[in-house]
Amino acid sequence: MADKFETLEQNLEMFIENTRQIGITVSDFQPQGQSVLNQKLQGMISGLQDIDKLKSQLQDVQVPLDVFEYIDQGRNPQLYTRHCMEKSLSKNESVKGKIDGFKKFKVLLLLELSQVFPNEMAKYRAVRGDDRLA
């Protein structure tokens, strides 16, 4: 699995480097450099063909759409997982706080109900098989 990603990464790096070199050649184009430019363009075409050949090996890979949005925002996609973990931890803390709040509310509610409706609460605890207040 990792091998096919390494091959794709190498092909992409070569393609990017070739594209960079084409940009340099075009930005300072001289007529005598036409053959070099043609050679680089052929390299670009073969690089795209090599990348296209790899797509069949990567059909089973699913990338969350959020990753593409992350990239579109100019962020590093390798940091996406860390960002998701940080969001999850934050949400987990929030939910844990709510759960703790509800537990405290339950205790206070049972105390108040026991004072106002002692007979009914005794029956309730008997039905639940719970001698404790909470």
Indicate left, alpha or beta for 29 from its phi (over 0: left) and psi (-120 to 50: alpha): beta
Query: Buried (b) or exposed (e) across 78-95, using 16+ Cβ within 10 A?
Result: eebeeeeeeeeeeeeeee
What is the count of structural domains for the chain? 1
Give me the residues of the chain with pLDDT under 70, please.
1-2, 131-134
Non-local (6+) Cβ contacts of 14 within 8 A are 47
- Specify if 131 maps to a domain: no
Domain, as residue range, for 41 = 2-99
- Specify whether the CB–CB gap between 30 and 15 falls below 8 A: no
| Nearest of 116, 4, 91, 115 to residue 50 by alpha carbon | 4
- Specify if 126 maps to a domain: no
- Specify if 114 maps to a domain: no
**pLDDT, position 132:** 60
